[in-house]
Amino acid sequence: MPADLAPASHRVTGFRRLLRIPRPPASRPAPAVGVDQARERFAELAAADDERHGGITRSQLFEPDGPALATVVIWHGFTNAPSQFVHVAEALCAQGYRVLLPRMPHHGNADLLTRELERLTAAELVAHADLALDIAAGFGDRVWVAGLSAGGVLAAWAAATRAEVERVVLVAPLVAPKGFPMPLVRLFVRFPALVPRFYMWWDPRKKADIGNSPHAYPGFPVPGVMPFLALSEAMFDHTVEPGHELQRVVLVNNPGDFAIRRDAARAFASTVFGGGADYYGEATIEAKLDWWHDFVDPWTTHAGTTEQVTAILLASLGVADPTAGHTLVPPLVQLQPR
């Protein structure tokens, strides 16, 4: 097994017992009743967008012409915006899926150098996830969720805390940034006053000239990542556990991802969901594709095409499931049940 995929959880088990973290704010479901109320709730979500946010970085809802096969909620990555998944959402909508792309709090600003993320709280994330699921539930269709990076943590949270969710795809969930020891993550979550207050560039050599998506921040204030880690840690040590059995959970593992700890993501997904889903598996992207962390983003390099990303997402959701005798459209992933 590659070193970066060696199990992470056993190395910190004793530390977890020693350093208990506070329980995050509880989910407060208030599902919309019917389609009209679902659209009213979406207007409430969209009202959080203002002159600071460009059209493509705002929360968006894509609806097919006829009845939807399912409602899919997809969360973008840390320091990015719904623009990451707009083209994929359009492709899914064309195939008959309703797709909700929520803009996470303090993301999607036109001012890419904003320090607004330092104000993000776990309570905001929980309320945001609840509102997204309240909207999805109101349409009355099956509800599936997916997310990349920090969005993967929110997707996991929604799957664990909302009974409406049937299937979840975790794409490189941000359980620990690359190079962060798990005990240090735990320590920062338990004692937020210890978290460094500086601004971290994604590429310290290029700083603001990172040359990435025009909708993504080139860096972030370090405290801005901690609310996501607080939620993942609470699920990791079973302070918050899935309250219902899921039909399907798939972790998307990308060998070209050097932004997160892949071993921690694997340990997290299997610990939280491995024993409580009808199907649990891992979809591994072929290393030769040389895709990086934000491989879903059409504005960045080392990324897949819209068709490729859509196919991977659908396969992971079980729509084009090789384990059920179907053929995955492009031979991009190896999907292995656990």
Q: Are 167 and 246 in contact (CB under 8 A)?
A: yes
Range 304-324 average pLDDT: 83
**Beta-strand relationship, 71-75 and 143-148:** parallel
Q: Are 40 and 135 in contact (CB under 8 A)?
A: no
**Between 3.40.50.1820, 2.60.120.10, 3.30.1300.30, 3.20.20.140, what CATH number should domain 3-337 receive?**
3.40.50.1820
Cα angle vertex 334, ends 329, 338, to 5°?
A: 130
Q: Give tens-digit pLDDT for 46-92.
A: 999 988 898 899 999 999 999 999 999 999 999 999 999 999 999 99
Please give the sequence-ordered ranges of beta strands (E in DSSP) within the chain, or none if there are none: 60-62, 71-75, 98-101, 143-148, 165-171, 199-201, 219-221, 246-253, 277-285, 333-337
Q: How far apart are CA 296 and CA 260, in angstroms?
A: 15
SS3 50: coil
Above 50 in pLDDT, residue 1?
Answer: no
Q: Give tens-digit pLDDT for 96-117.
A: 999 999 999 999 999 999 999 9
What's the full length of the chain, in residues?
Answer: 338
Range 13-36 average pLDDT: 85
Domain ranges, ordered by start, for the chain: 3-337
Q: Is the dihedral of CA 289, 295, 297, 299 positive or negative?
A: negative
Q: Give tens-digit pLDDT for 261-292.
A: 999 999 999 999 998 899 999 999 999 999 99
Above 50 in pLDDT, residue 255?
Answer: yes
Q: Which amino acid is at 57?
A: T
Q: Identify the CA nearest to 316 among candidates 88, 141, 145.
A: 145
CA atoms within 13 A on the CB side of 323: 17
Q: How far apart are CA 185 and CA 226, in angstroms?
A: 9
CB atoms within 10 A of CB 176: 26
Range 133-145 average pLDDT: 98
Task: Determine the angle formed by the axes of helices 306-317 and 86-94, rounding to 10 degrees.
Answer: 60
Instruction: Spell 47-66 as b/e; 16+ CB within 10 A means b.
Output: eebeeebeebbbbbbbeeee
